[in-house]
Amino acid sequence: DVKVTQSSRYLVKRTGEKVFLECVQDMDHENMFWYRQDPGLGLRLIYFSYDVKMKEKGDIPEGYSVSREKKERFSLILESASTNQTSMYLCASSFYRDNIQYFGAGTRLSVL
């Protein structure tokens, strides 16, 4: 079975802190994604990576950056956390040819 692992299930940070969310997949997928999920808004794509060191902005990249130094790992970085970044963050991965996405369990981030 494909496994996508997010480093934390729950995280509490203070405004202005630098926050790292880590995601690791074990299926050699080319594509990796970061989404945030908010009530009534569904899933919104923050960033997408289709290869090592390659990244593409999604629909809401402002306030976020990403890093993909190894194929299996995709990190989301909040440079200076703000309260409006309190949300559920979901990581996913997929093969390029069928685009079926496999999700991690999610990280619920609270910024106080």
Partner 1 sequence: SQQGEEDPQALSIQEGENATMNCSYKTSINNLQWYRQNSGRGLVHLILIRSNEREKHSGRLRVTLDTSKKSSSLLITASRAADTASYFCATDFGNEKLTFGTGTRLTIIP
- Binding residues for partner 1, rule: CB under 8 A, are 4, 31, 33, 35, 40-43, 45, 48, 50, 58, 88, 90, 92, 94, 96, 98-106, 108
Smaller CB separation from partner 1, 13 or 44? 44
CA 80 to chain centre: 16
Smaller CB separation from partner 1, 33 or 74? 33
Smaller CB separation from partner 1, 31 or 85? 31
Least Å from the CB of residue 80 to partner 1: 27
Measured CA to CA, the distance from residue 64 to residue 81 in angstroms comes to: 9
* Residue 65 DSSP SS3: strand
Q: Which residues contact 107 (CB under 8 A, 6 or more apart)?
A: 6, 7, 8, 9, 10, 11, 21, 88, 89
Q: Which residues contact 12 (CB under 8 A, 6 or more apart)?
A: 109, 110, 112
Least Å from the CB of residue 71 to partner 1: 15
Smaller CB separation from partner 1, 20 or 96? 96
